Amino acid sequence: MRSVLFVCLGNICRSPMAEGIARKLAAGRGLSLEIDSAGTAAYHEGERADPRTREVLARHDASFDGRARQVRPSDFEAFDLILAMDRQNLADLRKRCPAAYVDKLHLMLEPVGGGDVPDPYYGGPDGFDTNHAMLVEAVSAWLDRIEA
Ligand code: 4NP
């Protein structure tokens, strides 16, 4: 079974959204995949996902029931793919990742043209809808690659 870790800054907005979407889309494809998410920072360790993330997921028949956690050193060995929501997250991961595993690190939007999934934390609810649409497209493209 393959595995993917989604990473953002706080693990309460973007990466839990990606995790909820990936769980739904992988199940819909009958794809067996281990899915988790984490943050580069520990500010929100142990907290539930932002209510705005949970609301968008619920509206799209998905959910995230986990608790925020920071990226751990063991994640770099444990996961096959580690997908960063923005270039800052990717740079932070690269600093911590053992050289043997750096090829596992990618930008979330790489298969759909690159760029960042914007941090929605200080914005309005629209940001969460925009992110959801971006993430559905990007997660689908990653699942295509995993299945190929
Ligand atoms: P996330 O969003 O990285 O998508 O979970 C954020 C959550 C919290 C903060 C920043 C971004 N914060 O500064 O606390």
pLDDT in tens, 32-56: 999 999 999 999 999 999 999 999 9
Mean pLDDT, residues 121-131 taken together? 92
In this predicted structure, the answer to whether residue 147 has a pLDDT above a threshold of 80 is yes
Look-up: residue for tokens 């920071």? 70
Tell me how crowded residue 66 is: count the other CB atoms within 10 A of its CB.
16
In this predicted structure, the answer to whether residue 1 has a pLDDT above a threshold of 80 is no
Q: Put the strands of the sheet holding 81-84 in their side by side order.
A: 33-39, 2-8, 81-84, 105-107
- Identify the pLDDT of residue 64: 97
- Identify the pLDDT of residue 42: 98
CA of 5 to the centre of ligand 1 (A): 17
Q: Is 132 in the pocket of ligand 1 (CB under 6 A)?
A: no
Tell me which residue of 111, 113, 116 sits closest to 140, measured CA to CA: 111
Closest-lying ligand 1 atom to the alpha carbon of residue 11? 5
- Identify the pLDDT of residue 76: 98
Q: What is the pTM of this model?
A: 0.98
Q: Is 101 in the pocket of ligand 1 (CB under 6 A)?
A: no
> H-helix or E-strand containing 137?
helix 125-147
CA distance 65 to 103: 29
